[in-house]
Chains A and B, each alone.
Chain A
Amino acid sequence: MDNERGALTEAVYYILLSLFRPLHGYGIMQHVKEISRGRVDLGAGTLYGAISTMLERGWIRPYEDGADARKKEYVITQTGREIVKNEIARLQELIENGRETIGGDANVSKSSI
């Protein structure tokens, strides 16, 4: 189990979210673009680096179902799920502190945070 604590990069967070079901690299890129409404457009090199690191740490693993051997698929592991849970808790703390500080500022809507 990874004992390091710290903020995940946006790319890593979104890649982990994408891999709650098996996906190949191109699928991850498309999915992240979709759920971020086009804001996060992962470069192939960035994606490769993130996947390599997460494989080393055991946050994701290769997924083989024999359907298409040409495109490697990946899926999140139990360790990766714990990492995501911890990250969501961290982000929740950030949001709550932010909202408390900003108070009732009408320009800050729920959807913009």
Chain B
Amino acid sequence: MSASQVYRIHKVFFDFDREEDWINEMADRGLLFVGYSPLTYKFVEGEPGAYRYRFYLMENCATSYESRKYIAFMEEMGIECVGTYLRWAFFRKKAEDGAFEILTDTASRIKYVRRVLYMISAIAFANLSVGCSNVLITAVSETPFRFNSLGYINILCFLLFLPFIVKTHMNKRQLERKGSLFE
């Protein structure tokens, strides 16, 4: 890639589907996603609509042997990996090559949705338990700041994740019902 200005946009998403939609909307407008670090999305200018993006949660950390094998296979299939973050891989494919779906069979889709659901539920409920603990501990303390607690932020994070958890759970149920009839 030739040297070009990197734009950094600070944003947070609690819904991975909306995050992916936003990345593709940016690509349609000529800003191509090239990397992620916490709360920061990096873009470079490019041809509007040239690429479609898919964010994929792998089974293992991106630096593991299995994940590197997976990414290498994707690249053999003409799918470029523009970056990784923890277990996430950010793939893109030229829009002119047609529709871009990583998983096309119901069984794999169910397995994938479960993986995403378990991960996000673990994060959300960890926030809820940490948040409630902090709020309770602060509330029973003798200090004048009994009702000030960072725990409320954790509880808020849990509430913000909840719609996506519910949506993903319903998606999983729908796929499982489909899987009982069709491949």
Question: Which residue numbers of A lie inside 8 Å of B, CB to CB?
Answer: 9-11, 24-26, 29, 41-49, 70-72
Contact = CB atoms under 8 A, between A and B. Distances in A.
Interface in B12-28: none
B102 A44 contact: yes
Interface residues of B, number: 19
B28 to A, nearest CB: 22
B78 A48 contact: no
Interface of B is mostly: loop
Contacts of A25: 73, 76-77
Interface of A is mostly: helix
Contact of A41 (B77, B79, B99): B99
A46 B103 contact: yes
A44 B74 contact: yes
A26 B56 contact: no
A44 B72 CA distance: 11
Contacts of B56: 45
Contacts of B107: 9
A10 B108 CA distance: 13
